[in-house]
Amino acid sequence: MTKTLDTASVLEVLKPVQDPELQQSLVALNMIRNVTVERGEVSFTLVLTTPACPLREFIVEDCEKAVRTLPGVESVSVDVTAETPQQKSLPNRTGIAGVKNILAVSSGKGGVGKSTVAINLAVALAQSGAAVGLIDADIYGPNAPLMMGLSEAGVTVRQGEQGEELEPAFNHGVRMVSMGFLIDRDQPVIWRGPMLNGVIRQFLYQVQWGELDYLVVDMPPGTGDAQLTLAQAVPMAGVVIVTTPQEVALGDARRGLKMFEQLQVPVLGLVENMSYFIPPDRPEQRYDLFGSGGGERAAAELGVPLLGTVPLEMPVREGGDRGWPIVISQPDSASAQALTQIAQQVAARISVAALT
């Protein structure tokens, strides 16, 4: 039987097309909307589950191919938008109004590049079109303001609906609050510690975040109070654990992983930073300083996905020091590409967890 070309037949031929990540029909997932057919011109909106969808082109192509099997189709126009799903709620934990997904970036040990990964992850998600916030909760090295070009920023207190509220600083498309805005950098860490729990709660509930698809939290290293406070206060979409190839850092990552599992925080995966070295004068050269395949082996051993490996490249540090994250300052560099792909994977995993 020859099919006629109308809205119903368009939806019918689109039914078998699946979201590759969720492995379910786009039509069943309500991702195909506003179908119109005017003479031979078919148009519809494809609503992705994250603006950072790495498979956007493939999905559009699959849709176009399916629609073109209908007789009389002269053109197919697909308008692509995204609606990030809200993470699942957990009993006894209060979400933040307007914030869809809270994710933490953690490391077992200091200095492995946790803040670098957190910041570039936040900026890459914002570059893809998502609304993103960043909490720098690292009392030991609150260097996120410097890396975000906000070292001169302070906190502005406003009278909001819930009393006094902080207005986040803003740069590179990301809203941010930082321990660095509140503490005296010369103050010993031992005095900063007791402030931490109160400040984390304040950063979660008393900041004018507005509507956010993702709120990224740069945690202090280790398995301490800050992790407990965060995981017990809010439902979390997941945690990304940053490590370096050395064995000692992996041991720490393992401890972190166990703690998050016990706190019912899904571990989204491992990022291996400083995996290999790319010399600035020969960007095509790659030196595996610590041998190769360590990240993969570690992830397999820990039973979590390896989200990506980020090379050691001088522009990462230089960009950080100047307040220009590498995904903005040198988007074509190997490290920026790796960080962007990590952001896409994180977004995809969060959507899958929210919808399945």
Binding site residue list for ATP: 108-115
| Minimum distance, C-beta of residue 116 to ligand ATP, in the bound complex (Å) | 3
Of the two residues 98 and 111, which places its CB atom closer to ligand ATP in the complex? Answer: 111
3-class secondary-structure state, position 96: coil
From 9, 178, 227, 273, residue interacting with ligand ATP (rule: CB under 6 A): 273
Task: Indicate the DSSP class of residue 7.
Answer: H
State the Cα–Cα distance between residues 116 and 123, nearest whole angstrom.
Answer: 11
Characterize 104-135 residue by residue with b for buried, 16 or more Cβ atoms within 10 angstroms of its Cβ, and e for exposed: bbbbbbeebbbbbbbbbbbbbbbbbbbbbbbb
Of the two residues 223 and 335, which places its CB atom closer to ligand ATP in the complex? Answer: 335
Should residue 335 be labelled a site residue for ligand ATP when binding is judged by CB under 6 A?
A: yes
From 111, 160, 210, 293, residue interacting with ligand ATP (rule: CB under 6 A): 111
| Minimum distance, C-beta of residue 65 to ligand ATP, in the bound complex (Å) | 39
Stretch that binds ligand ATP, among 15-23, 28-36, 45-53, 139-147 (CB under 6 A): 139-147
Should residue 297 be labelled a site residue for ligand ATP when binding is judged by CB under 6 A?
A: no
User: Which amino acid is it at 106?
Assistant: S
Instruction: Quote the Cα angle for 328-202-104, to 5°.
Output: 45
Residues touching ligand ATP, count (CB under 6 A): 22
Nearest alpha carbon to residue 327 among 342, 340, 346? 340
- What are the CA-CA distances from residue 208 to residues 157, 169, 241, 242 (Å)? 10, 10, 27, 28
Of the two residues 26 and 270, which places its CB atom closer to ligand ATP in the complex? Answer: 270
- Whether the Cβ atoms of residue 172 and residue 144 lie closer than 8 Å to each other: no
Give me the residue whose beta carbon is nearest to ligand ATP: 141
Should residue 107 be labelled a site residue for ligand ATP when binding is judged by CB under 6 A?
A: yes
Nearest alpha carbon to residue 19 among 71, 88, 82, 68? 82
Nearest alpha carbon to residue 12 among 49, 52, 42, 56? 42
Stretch that binds ligand ATP, among 30-38, 127-135, 137-145, 298-306 (CB under 6 A): 137-145
- Whether the Cβ atoms of residue 167 and residue 159 lie closer than 8 Å to each other: no
State the Cα–Cα distance between residues 178 and 101, nearest whole angstrom.
Answer: 19
Stretch that binds ligand ATP, among 66-74, 83-91, 250-258, 310-318 (CB under 6 A): 310-318
- Whether the Cβ atoms of residue 71 and residue 3 lie closer than 8 Å to each other: yes
| Minimum distance, C-beta of residue 251 to ligand ATP, in the bound complex (Å) | 16
| Minimum distance, C-beta of residue 343 to ligand ATP, in the bound complex (Å) | 15
Of the two residues 168 and 311, which places its CB atom closer to ligand ATP in the complex? Answer: 311
From 53, 112, 148, 207, residue interacting with ligand ATP (rule: CB under 6 A): 112
Within 213-232, the residues that bind ligand ATP by CB under 6 A are 221
Nearest alpha carbon to residue 200 among 253, 125, 138? 138
Should residue 115 be labelled a site residue for ligand ATP when binding is judged by CB under 6 A?
A: yes
Can you state the angle between helices 225-233 and 196-205, rounded to 10 degrees?
30
From 9, 116, 120, 344, residue interacting with ligand ATP (rule: CB under 6 A): 116
Stretch that binds ligand ATP, among 62-70, 111-119, 181-189, 255-263 (CB under 6 A): 111-119
Using CB under 6 A, list all residues that contact ligand ATP: 107, 110-116, 138, 140-141, 143, 221, 273-274, 310, 312-313, 316-317, 320, 335
